[in-house]
Structure 1
Amino acid sequence: MTVDPAGPADRVHVRAPGKLNVFFEVGAVQPDGYHDVASAYQAVSLVEDLWAENADDFSLTVSGSVDVAGVPVDDRNLALRAARLLAGEIGHRGGVRLHIDKHVPVAGGMGGGSADAAAALVACDALWGAELGSSGLHRLARRLGADVPFALMGGTAIGTGRGDQLNRALAKGRFDWVVVTSEDGLSTPEVYGHLDVMRGRSNIALAPRTPDVDPGVLQALRVGDAVALAAHVRNDLQTAALSLRPDLRDVLELGEGSGALVGIVSGSGPTLAFLAADPESALELQVALSVAGHRALHVHGPVAGARIVSE
């Protein structure tokens, strides 16, 4: 970034990661309509880039390697809401011009919008010299959405409550994933709602009383064992997502039949994540899925959370 020695930056570039839920247990719906969850998050190398410059008003433009046609550029966008929230917090009277270069699938279950919001918080904090610090930014992040605090933190973490009560998890080494994206997104509220309906009809197991992360997941992450992790990954939203998008089952079977240790729906979907034994296996899997006509990307984790990029 460019910095004025006498004051804050005049243009800030921030990079924030998408995420995978390597474990996701969903509790019963609460009176406020939300669900308690227990999640093991991992930030991965598929990232969002955001630039922020001072302006008289608040505005946003979007580009990217993914389809951004459905991305709002008004106050429905989390990044713009994050900027306004921070401005209100510190009493900033000006605006900001944001530009996002998106690479995380839109409505794909990998937290791209949350990454944008985290990036906007970090960028505007630096741009306006707010110096809120990690705790101040995390406090605002929790007001924007359950996944925004993790996009700030990055790495590997356990999330409880709405998913925003975070504790860093010990994680050794590198985990290689191949993600398969879909042109048609899935609505997160719709997937949660469908899960509740399926549980109400006793189509699937009832919600756990208190969601908790499988100890086997924590141990596998702690020692960096992809094979052990594959034995314990789980996503309670997967059954609902596959019910809404039955075509995804064929892709899961293809990936697991082409060398993946395991395949899983990422978050609320429809992005699929396949865990590979090592980088070479991931490359072979990426090729196999690409040859079959799917958009497959090789990513790895864990990576850092939202951070300023020097220019």
Structure 2
Amino acid sequence: MSSAASVERVHVRAPGKINVFLGVGGRHDDGYHALATVFQAVSLYEDVIARAADDFSVTVRGAVDADAVPLDDRNLAMRAAKLLAAAADYHGGVALEIRKSVPVAGGMGGGSADAAAALVACDALWGTGFSPARLHELAARLGADVPFALHGGTAVGTGRGDQLNPALARGRFDWVLVTSDEGLSTPVVYEQLDLLREEQGALADDPPLSLDVPIPVLQALRSGDAVQLAASLHNDLQAAAVHRRPDLEETIRRGIRAGALHGIVSGSGPTVALLCGDPESAQAVQTALQQAGREALHVHGPVPGARILV
């Protein structure tokens, strides 16, 4: 592969996600949990701008706490760029600028969106011409949520969440996201789930290797009926997140009192996703929560995955 970049600058936008459903199996010997989840990409985005450079670097800015984002190889976007360079035998570098809007450590896959955007941006910047399947393969090596951030829309994830199958979702679903200044560590929330299950005897010692998404969840998405979907929202990590952050339960109750159909902790939290019946009710819920001193955002889904902006 030539070290000469084909263009000087590429701008890619990738969405954050919520987990409409998240079922978590027991922890296996490799430390991972079997998952069955339904992702939905929503209209809260990360922007990654890749510029030609001799070495690898990353800068971060945005409306969220950018100071909490690492600027070294712990950064998923940096790791994505280096992984692509190694796979393509590319000997140059890239300067990545990340403009963050998705909460840091908020359970919405912001870091994964950065990684997906970096893969797409560097592929275009360097002219590597990797196929979508090859980019998906690399994304799966970076983390379970990265492949979904590439594709967007609505999808069922199994295995570790990286084995994706598109799910038909008709129409538009309106959500109010209640964010938090203090993030939650995903590994810590999974550890808490394991502890709670040990105390409660909730799972056998030999958990299944795979789980299934309940049919009513898929039927609700296919119908485009927000009321039907609200009745199917579920997150196995929610109890663990609430154990660490009891205020999340009150946030869900407050949102429902304000007019939301139902609420759920997004992924490992602490972002709360409140499903509303239509854009007008979502606006009313957002306003009520903001008046109560909460940081609330009105978003919708599904939206496309990582895309180059021109």
The alignment's TM-score, normalised by the length of structure 2, stands at 0.96
- 2-side partners of 1:228 and 1:181: how far apart? 25
Cα 1:7–1:52 shift into 2, 3 Å? closer
3-state SS of 2:80 partner: helix
Q: Which of 188, 195, 198 in structure 1 is aligned with 2:196? A: 198
Whichever residue aligns with residue 244 of structure 1, its letter is R
Cα 1:296–1:215 shift into 2, 3 Å? same
Give the match for residue 268 of structure 2.
268
Give the match for residue 80 of structure 1.
78
Give the match for residue 183 of structure 2.
185
Give the match for residue 227 of structure 1.
227
8 Å CA contact 2:5, 2:52 repeated in 1: no
- 2-side partners of 1:289 and 1:247: how far apart? 14
Give the match for residue 157 of structure 2.
159
Whichever residue aligns with residue 48 of structure 2, its letter is L
- 2-side partners of 1:86 and 1:299: how far apart? 31
3-state SS of 1:256 partner: helix
- 1-side partners of 2:18 and 2:249: how far apart? 19
RMSD: 1.2
Can you give the 5+ residue segments of structure 2 that lack an aligned partner in the other structure? none
Structure 1 stretches of 4+ with a deviation exceeding 4 A read none
Q: CA deviation at 1:7?
A: 7.8
Give the match for residue 131 of structure 2.
133
Query: What is the CA deviation profile of residues 195-231 of structure 1, one whole-angstrom value per residue up to 9, with x for unaligned ones?
Result: 001000117x437734211110100100101000000
Q: CA deviation at 1:9?
A: 2.3
Give the match for residue 14 of structure 2.
16
- 2-side partners of 1:189 and 1:38: how far apart? 18
How many residues were matched structurally?
A: 304
3-state SS of 2:107 partner: coil
Whichever residue aligns with residue 51 of structure 2, its letter is E
Whichever residue aligns with residue 101 of structure 1, its letter is R
Give the match for residue 294 of structure 1.
294
Can you give the 5+ residue segments of structure 1 that lack an aligned partner in the other structure? 1-5
3-state SS of 2:195 partner: helix
Whichever residue aligns with residue 281 of structure 1, its letter is S
- 1-side partners of 2:11 and 2:143: how far apart? 22
Q: Which of 165, 168, 176 in structure 1 is aligned with 2:166? A: 168
The alignment's TM-score, normalised by the length of structure 1, stands at 0.96
3-state SS of 1:9 partner: coil
3-state SS of 2:212 partner: coil
Give the match for residue 91 of structure 1.
89
Give the match for residue 283 of structure 1.
283
3-state SS of 1:83 partner: helix
| Correspondence list, 1:38-117, <5 A | 38-117=36-115
Identity %: 65
- 2-side partners of 1:133 and 1:63: how far apart? 30
Query: What is the CA deviation profile of residues 102-152 of structure 1, one whole-angstrom value per residue up to 9, with x for unaligned ones?
Result: 000000000000000000000000000001010010010000000000000
| Correspondence list, 1:114-125, <5 A | 114-125=112-123
Query: What is the CA deviation profile of residues 66-102 of structure 1, one whole-angstrom value per residue up to 9, with x for unaligned ones?
Result: 1111100111000000000000011111100000000
Give the match for residue 3 of structure 1.
none
8 Å CA contact 2:5, 2:125 repeated in 1: no
Whichever residue aligns with residue 277 of structure 1, its letter is G
